[in-house]
Amino acid sequence: MGDLLKNKNILIMGVRNKWSIAWGIAKAAKEQGANLILTYLGEREKESLDKLIAGMDNVETCPCDVTSDENLDELFSNIKNKYGVIHGVVHAIAFAKSEDLQDTFVNTSRDGFHTAMDVSVYSLIAVAKRAKELMTEGGSIITLTYRGSEKVYPGYNIMGVAKAALEASVRYTAHELGAQNIRVNAISSGPVKTMSAKGVKNFSDILEIVEKKSFLRRNVTLEDLGGTAVYLLSDLSSGLTGEVLYIDAGYNNMGL
């Protein structure tokens, strides 16, 4: 146990199960003394979340579908009533229709494009807009991205486009909220076997190649990502904002 996040109220969005990147971050933040608010999408997810947090102090769960402004308003109004202030937000949410991750990129449907951008990009903006009202003591907002935003990973398709827009949104949000001492950064994670990742064609090939070629000759773990998130959420990173940090065992710097 440490106290880097002691008395900090942290909202974490995107814990689906024990393999979720958001769960790795939640565990690391808890170990540093944070009070956690975890969101879930539906009743099925609530059940698995309740099992995960059984026995943990100062952790609560709230429903939230980020495509609904009403859901978001209710979430932040409940947080305001109970906590008054929040210090950190972890946005670990993304979605694309499975057909848009299986078919060729040029076959992406208009509807699929809108859905991916709404859930995976607009949600960060919608969350930041509400979070800033409760970050009266300054704060840190983190999102999760992938190198498919910059380089082509066949099959990543519309998610690559969404991640590029997400990273640009990080910079614009960070610029605006900087005046309130709210920092906004993205972690560009190496591949991690999660529910969402399973939807990407050839994902196990990506894991294998990265393990072989990355500087550390391994894939990243939830602990690697949790540690970086604690750094970003805490005052240790007080001068860092608008950045995309690669936590990928060095893979992004390989030429061949």
Q: Name the minimum Å distance from CB 28 to ligand NAP.
A: 14
Contact residues: ligand NAP, CB under 6 A? 14-16, 20-22, 41, 45, 64-67, 92-95, 119, 144-146, 189, 191-192, 194-197
Q: Name the minimum Å distance from CB 95 to ligand NAP.
A: 4
231 or 246, CB closer to ligand NAP?
A: 246
Q: Name the minimum Å distance from CB 90 to ligand NAP.
A: 9
What is d(CA 96, CA 22) in angstroms, rounded to the nearest whole number?
18
85 or 118, CB closer to ligand NAP?
A: 118
**Cβ pair 101, 157 in contact under 8 A:** yes
6 or 217, CB closer to ligand NAP?
A: 217
Q: Name the minimum Å distance from CB 245 to ligand NAP.
A: 12
168 or 235, CB closer to ligand NAP?
A: 168
Catalytic residues: 146, 156
